Structure 1
Amino acid sequence: MRDVIGLWLYLKKHGSRLGGNTGPFALRTLGVDTFLFTQDVEGFLRSHGIVEGGRTSQRALKAAQAYFNDLREQSGKSLAELSRIISFCHGQNRVQ
């Protein structure tokens, strides 16, 4: 699926309580290949100049989608794997 963001926005508009990261988490649980726009992923995208401005803006979401689509084509990995790798590589990852 190339337009994961479109599916997120559809769920947010038509689904009860499926805004924020709830929709993407539900999709991933149902087996849909999707990335998660967590704080670590957002931080990575911001530090690399991919996302600017509001996190939930159409521009930011489309930029994130384009980046993940390119990364998937280059690496052959799923969106879920890519967002997990990025989140492990960026931010504070402490084992307690």
Structure 2
Amino acid sequence: MPTLLEMAMDTMIRTFHRYSCKEGNRFELSKGELKLLLQRELTEFLSCREDPQLVDKIVQDLDANKDNEVDFNEFVITVAALTVACNDYFVEQLKKKGK
């Protein structure tokens, strides 16, 4: 039976490829594919942000090599950065509660 971390890694890989195969290069996300992935898969995270342009800003920032597509490495770096930000927020909330 896979561990929780192995299942999380599998989920990231499968999620990326579920969206990357919709158009163009099946191993990279177009801006449209990435935007759809973010809107569908990070719904709760994005809904609590007040910036209506947040998805567009994330898409622009993700494309590190400016080829108008996001490869798996760029995607993973972003997911990791978002995870760190969420953890930092969680830790800060616990500190405020004195736990």
The TM-score bracket by the shorter chain reads 0.3 to 0.5
Q: Which structure has greater strand proportion? A: 2
When normalised by structure 2's length, the TM-score is: 0.41
The structure that is helix-richer by fraction is 2
Q: Which has the larger radius of gyration?
A: 2
TM-score by length of 1: 0.42
